[in-house]
Amino acid sequence: MNLRKTLVLQLCIALVATSLLVSCNKTRDYKNSSRATGWKMNAKEGGFQYNPKAQEQETGPGLVFIEGGTYTMGRVQDDPMHDWNNSPNQQHVQSFYMDETEVTNLMYLEYLDWIKQVFPPSEENFRRIYDGAVPDTLVWRNRLGFNEVMTNNYLRHPAYANYPVVGVSWVQAVEFSNWRTDRVNELILEEEGMTARNARYDVEPGKTFNTDTYLNSPTMTYGGNDSITRGGKRSESLAKRSEDSTNLYVQRKDGLLLPDYRLPTEAEWEYAALGLVGLRSYNVYRGRKKYPWDGQYTRSGDRRSRGDQLANFKQGDGDYGGIAGWSDDGADITAEVKSYEPNDYGLYDMAGNVAEWVADVYRPIVDDEFNDFNYYRGNVYTKNAIGEDGKVKIVTADSIVYDTLSNGKIVARNLPGEILQVPVDEQETYLRTNFSESDNRDYRDGDPRSTRYYNSFADEGESSEDDTKRMYNSPKHQVYADSLGNLDRQYDKSTKRTTLVDNEVRVYKGGSWRDRDYWLDPAQRRYFPQDMATDYIGFRCAMSRVGSKSKKGKRPRN
């Protein structure tokens, strides 16, 4: 009897084990398969391909990671000017990256050298490209000052190599940022073995690398020279294994190419300059900060550097640096970058040295009632121009579009090798609730609906706005160029203009070597025409963060 029970028990165990084994064999392995379809990913036979080794976004050259969060924007500590252009409002900024220092003369000279090599100014067709990128060195001149040494030397002399570049307009700063994006991504592709080695040093005009062109129409990159675009070792290896041409080029889904370098928004710049992360306690800030550093004073309280100034700014009338032999801030004009301690984010010179361009169009009020997330005024939405052949239109050496600025300076709106951009139209805006037109710079503050003269009951086709009834009745200077390139500058002499604010003026932030400490408060804001330059405004670049908000996972405090 016991033997029979034992045999039955053994048989049951065998049956259970067999059923488990069979069920396990029927279980699919979804580790390398799609959670949507169950299809195998990256199969040699075909199907969907993706990069399983893709990690979080790499930090681009010169950048520092800034973890986003909420803060009170526009809260100035002192307001003796009573400008009424700062109303404290709560804003949230997504994580992003920002240049550790201002863009220096050396960095900008690299940009000018590249332009000179690729678009030789000796050729008439390209002369205006280089001329439009060169900083205005005459900004150093003063009617009653002897500053010719800076006019002749500040940009190019090696003694000023690591000083912040000045004399750069907002327009030029944007073009530098675009150029920087392409050069960084061009190197990434080469190092990944996708493009021919060292091809970036020997390119022809109109046959340069552009990030958007590569992502949208890779066969047209480098002027359609496939021996460069697919000349890397890794690219050659892929060509042997794959018949699908789309996998022979790096795509956005591969996560290798970096987002655009750009100017920071006003909200980002102010958030980064404050460095409130050093005052964080749980989910609140422990007090306020008047400057990028702790404390309410411009002098150091540290034992080793007690009494030293913490930034480069104007001390008083006729006092730009202090008494000889004991300089208060170590500089009379600009100072070499990293001459002072960084803020809690690791950013240098977020107060003093030079003020800095930001991306925003200036308006007296930040419209937080409409938006309090990644606030930015200046959106002009465009799309790729498509030719009759259904392909994107690439700018050539014969189709460069030049802009004549209000001051008569001529700059290239686009460069050969880039994709021609056109405004979005009804195809993108029809029945949308989040935007209805291409140019949104004056939305709710400058458009016809925002003026007191707007008549919502006007007959169709009847306009309630004329030249004197604009929201911002600013001067309209006109510059015309004839067929020979001669300029006809028509200065607006009207005596009925009431403001200098329009869609062509941009915000700049931070104090400079010419400013008193009042302007060192990161919340202070000023504006300047986007096509003009000074000897006290520079810039630094930013880059959006793709992916997670934080680089590190949150951990318990205790």
Q: What is the DSSP string of 322-389?
A: EETTEESSS-SS---TTSS---TTS-S-SSSSSEEEEEEEP-SS--TTT--BS--S--B-EEE-B-TT
Question: Cα separation of 154 and 104, whole Å?
Answer: 11
Q: Are residues 280 and 140 in the same domain?
A: yes
Cβ proximity of 101 and 157 under 8 Å = no
Give the DSSP letter of residue 439: B
Flag whether 250 is in a domain.
Answer: no
Band the pLDDT of 411: cuts 50, 70, 90: confident
Range 408-421 average pLDDT:
89
pLDDT band of 290, cuts 50, 70, 90: confident
Place of tokens 């209805």: 436
pLDDT of residue 425: 95
Q: What pLDDT score was predicted for residue 234?
A: 79
Judge if 92 and 169 occupy the same domain.
Answer: yes
Cα 287 from Cα 309, distance rounded (Å):
23
Does some domain include residue 420? no
Question: Are residue 88 and residue 187 in the same domain, yes or no?
Answer: yes
**Is residue 225 over pLDDT 70?**
yes
Sign (positive or negative) of CA dihedral 236, 238, 241, 242? negative
Global pTM reads: 0.91
Q: Is residue 79 part of a domain?
A: yes
Q: Which two tokens stand for residue 334?
A: 């600009």
CA distances, 416 to each of 165, 193, 207, 420, 499 (Å): 26, 25, 7, 9, 38
Q: Which amino acid is at 189?
A: L
Q: What sign for the dihedral angle of Cα 174, 100, 519, 148?
A: negative
Residue 111 lies in a domain: yes
* Domain coverage including residue 537: 60-192+256-367+508-549
Same domain, 165 and 311: yes
What confidence category does residue 71 fall into, taking pLDDT thresholds of 50, 70 and 90? very high
CB 273 within 8 A of CB 350: yes
Q: DSSP of 197-231, one letter per residue?
A: TTGGGS--TT----HHHHHH-GGGGGGG-HHHHT-
Quick one: pLDDT band at residue 442, thresholds 50, 70, 90? very high
Backbone phi, psi, residue 355, to 5°: -70, 165
Co-location of 363 and 457 in the same domain: no
The rounded distance, in Å, linking the Cα atoms of 363 and 445 is 8
73 plus 153 within the same structural domain: yes
In this structure, are residues 218 and 419 in contact, taking their beta carbons and an 8 Å threshold? Answer: no
Q: Do residues 299 and 358 both lie within one domain?
A: yes
pLDDT at 510 over 70: yes
Extract the tokens encoding 179: 């150029």
Cα(41)–Cα(30) distance, rounded to whole angstroms? Answer: 10
pLDDT average, residue stretch 415-424: 93
Confidence of residue 239 (pLDDT cuts 50, 70, 90): low
Q: What is the CATH number of the domain that holds 347?
A: 3.90.1580.10
At position 115, the amino acid (one-letter code) is I
Confidence of residue 461 (pLDDT cuts 50, 70, 90): very low
Domain count, the chain: 2
For residue 404, being part of any structural domain is answered with: no
pLDDT at 423 over 80: yes
37-65: pLDDT as tens digits: 889 888 877 788 777 777 789 999 999 99
Strand partners, 280: 285
Element (H, E) at 507: strand 505-509
Residue 22 lies in a domain: no
Higher pLDDT, 533 or 398: 533
Report the 10 Å Cβ neighbour count for 214: 25
Any idea which of 82-86, 185-189, 228-232 has the lowest mean pLDDT?
82-86
Average pLDDT over residues 125-135: 91
- 231 within domain boundaries: no
- Same domain for 469 and 515? no
In a shared domain, residues 174 and 269: yes
Do 77 and 185 share a structural domain?
yes
Question: pLDDT value at position 408?
Answer: 79
Positive or negative torsion for Cα 432, 436, 439, 441: negative
Q: How far apart are CA 90 and CA 366, in angstroms?
A: 11
Q: What is the pLDDT of residue 271?
A: 96
Residues 165 and 272 in one domain: yes
Q: Do 184 and 313 fall into the same domain?
A: yes
Ramachandran angles phi, psi of 328, nearest 5° = -65, -40
| 524 falls within a domain | yes
